[in-house]
């Protein structure tokens, strides 16, 4: 038997949708409204059920319900149409990347002790071959510094027999937990001029390591789908603007109780619609404006893209809702197909605005 949702929370969710004002509540209270009590009885399925229910009504919970303590305060607020992609990128964690799971046995680690001298350092770097960077840690496992090519250049230039390991290592690294935001970590590395990243787990043990260059190399395959989604949103907005729908068509696509919140005092246009609503407007075969402005052949081409855009929307939802850590090749192909179709449509519309 499935767990229910209280009538009180249905009303609360409706009020948030209508007036756009967020509501604060205890996490335990939120769980009780979804028939989960006490909080300690919650399961992963319970949390996913709550998140999906909120997302289905274009609402969001902050902070992320998947990681908050039972004593947390939760804010329930509307999910804006244009913010999903950026929120998703913000929530991407370092543990989505291979560099966060290297394991100590494969890390270029060396401890500072009485036997640690420059000859030992040289031997270690030769053994690591391409990974000519060492993480120096103390006996307790705490990172002390980085030894890289610059370090050795400094040593060779000094040509001093008294040079110690501590003299050539540099604090040019950032330490982050594997659950930290990937994009915020990249920002910090750039802003603080730290070219190396040491990744630790909840027990403060080193589990991964990479350079800023390596981070970008691993980040791109994950971030690429978000750029594709942004491009689809931009292209379909261009298509709708080129078709030049009247304000009434945009207004008719929006649920009446959400109209004021979506307009925010502005004029109707593509930005007030969700991606699904934009596709629905584009595919309206009985739309008077479309039927008057475009020929049968052009309208047929537009209709032919309906399935392509719907599949891209499904792929978008898979990615933004984190069904998997990384987008599948199939999802990426659907996004690329939608981009190609929209770009092709944009070249056709200006040339075919008269009826046959």
pLDDT, tens only, 38-65: 888 888 888 888 988 887 787 888 888 8
φ, ψ for residue 181, nearest 5 deg: -60, 130
Closest CA to 65 of 25, 100, 94, 11: 25
- Specify the pLDDT at position 29: 93
φ, ψ for residue 165, nearest 5 deg: -55, -45
Assign 3-state DSSP to the chain and report helix, strand, coil percentages, each to 5.
55, 15, 30
What percent of the chain lies above the pLDDT cut of 90? 12
Q: What is the mean pLDDT of the chain?
A: 80
Domain boundary assignment for the chain: 7-79, 98-217, 223-351
φ, ψ for residue 157, nearest 5 deg: -65, -35
- Specify the pLDDT at position 116: 66
Determine the average pLDDT of the residues in 324-351. 82
Query: ω before 38 within 30° of 0 (cis)?
Result: yes
Closest CA to 152 of 170, 174, 139: 170
Residues whose CB is less than 8 angstroms from the CB of residue 55 and which lie 6 or more positions away in sequence, other chains included:
79, 321
10 Å Cβ neighbour count for 252?
15
Q: How confident is the model at residue 34 (pLDDT cuts 50, 70, 90)?
A: very high
What percent of the chain lies above the pLDDT cut of 70? 81
Q: 111 vs 231, which has greater pLDDT?
A: 231
Distance (Å, whole) CA 53 – CA 46 = 11
Q: Parallel, antiparallel, or unpaired for β 173-177 and 196-200?
A: parallel
SS3 129: coil
Output the CA angle 305-83-322, nearest 5 degrees. 75
The answer to whether residues 335 and 228 touch, using CB atoms and an 8 Å cutoff, is: yes
pLDDT, tens only, 233-287: 899 999 998 888 888 888 888 888 888 878 877 888 888 888 888 888 888 766 7
DSSP 264-318: TTS--SGGGS-HHHHHHHHT-TT-HHHHHHS-HHHHHHHHHTHHHHHHHHHHHHH
**Residue 281 corresponds to which tokens in the numbers above?**
């407007």
Assess whether pLDDT exceeds 70 at residue 154. Answer: no
- Specify the pLDDT at position 266: 80
Q: 95 vs 189, which has greater pLDDT?
A: 189
Q: What per-residue string of b and e applies to 267-302 under the rule 16 or more CB within 10 Å gives b?
A: ebebbbbbbebbbebbbbeebeebeebbeeebbebb
Residues whose CB is less than 8 angstroms from the CB of residue 333 and which lie 6 or more positions away in sequence, other chains included:
none
Determine the average pLDDT of the residues in 300-306. 84
Arch. (CATH architecture) of 98-217: Roll (3.10)
Q: How confident is the model at residue 30 (pLDDT cuts 50, 70, 90)?
A: very high
Distance (Å, whole) CA 195 – CA 106 = 20
- Specify the pLDDT at position 91: 60
Burial class of 202 by CB neighbour count within 10 A (0 to 12, 13 to 18, 19+): exposed
Q: 166 vs 30, which has greater pLDDT?
A: 30
- Specify the pLDDT at position 337: 94
Determine the average pLDDT of the residues in 154-181. 76
Please state the pTM of the whole predicted model.
0.55
DSSP 132-193: --EEEE-TTS-EEEEE-HHHHHHHHHHT-TT--HHHH-B--EEEEETTSBHHHHHHHHHHTT
The answer to whether residues 310 and 302 touch, using CB atoms and an 8 Å cutoff, is: no
Assess whether pLDDT exceeds 90 at residue 299. Answer: no
Determine the average pLDDT of the residues in 306-326. 75
Lowest mean pLDDT of 83-92, 118-127, 312-321, name the range: 83-92
């Amino acid at each position: 038997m499935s767990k229910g949702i209280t009538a009180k929370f249905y009303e609360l969710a409706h009020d948030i949708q209508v007036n756009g004002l967020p509501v604060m509540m205890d996490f335990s209270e939120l769980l009780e409204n979804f028939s989960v009590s006490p909080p300690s009885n919650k399961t992963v399925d319970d949390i996913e059920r709550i998140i999906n229910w909120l997302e289905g009504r274009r609402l969001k919970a902050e902070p992320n319900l998947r990681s908050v303590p039972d004593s947390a305060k939760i804010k329930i607020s509307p999910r804006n149409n244009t913010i999903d992609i950026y929120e998703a990128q913000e929530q991407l964690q370092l543990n989505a990347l291979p560099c966060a799971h290297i394991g100590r046995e494969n890390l270029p680690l060396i401890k500072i002790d009485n036997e640690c001298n420059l000859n030992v350092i040289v031997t270690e770097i030769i053994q690591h071959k391409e990974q000519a960077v060492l993480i120096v840690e103390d006996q307790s496992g705490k990172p002390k510094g980085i030894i890289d090519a610059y370090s050795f250049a400094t040593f060779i230039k000094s040509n001093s027999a008294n040079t110690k390991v501590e003299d050539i290592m540099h604090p040019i690294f950032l330490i982050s937990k594997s659950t930290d935001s990937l994009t915020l970590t990249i920002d910090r590395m750039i802003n603080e001029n730290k070219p190396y990243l040491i990744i630790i787990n909840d027990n403060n043990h080193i589990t991964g390591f990479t350079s800023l260059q390596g981070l970008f190399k691993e980040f791109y395959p994950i971030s690429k789908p978000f750029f594709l989604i942004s491009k689809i949103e931009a292209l379909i907005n261009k298509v709708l603007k080129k078709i030049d729908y009247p304000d009434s068509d945009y207004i008719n696509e929006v649920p009446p109780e959400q109209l004021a919140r979506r307009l925010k005092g502005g004029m109707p246009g593509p930005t007030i619609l969700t991606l699904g609503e934009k596709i629905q407007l584009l595919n309206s075969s009985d739309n008077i404006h479309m039927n008057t402005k475009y020929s049968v052949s052009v309208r047929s081409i537009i209709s032919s893209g309906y399935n392509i855009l719907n599949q891209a929307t499904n792929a978008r939802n898979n990615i933004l809702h984190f069904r998997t850590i990384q987008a599948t090749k199939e999802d990426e192909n659907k996004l690329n197909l939608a981009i190609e179709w929209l770009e092709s449509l944009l070249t056709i519309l200006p040339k075919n605005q008269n009826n046959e």
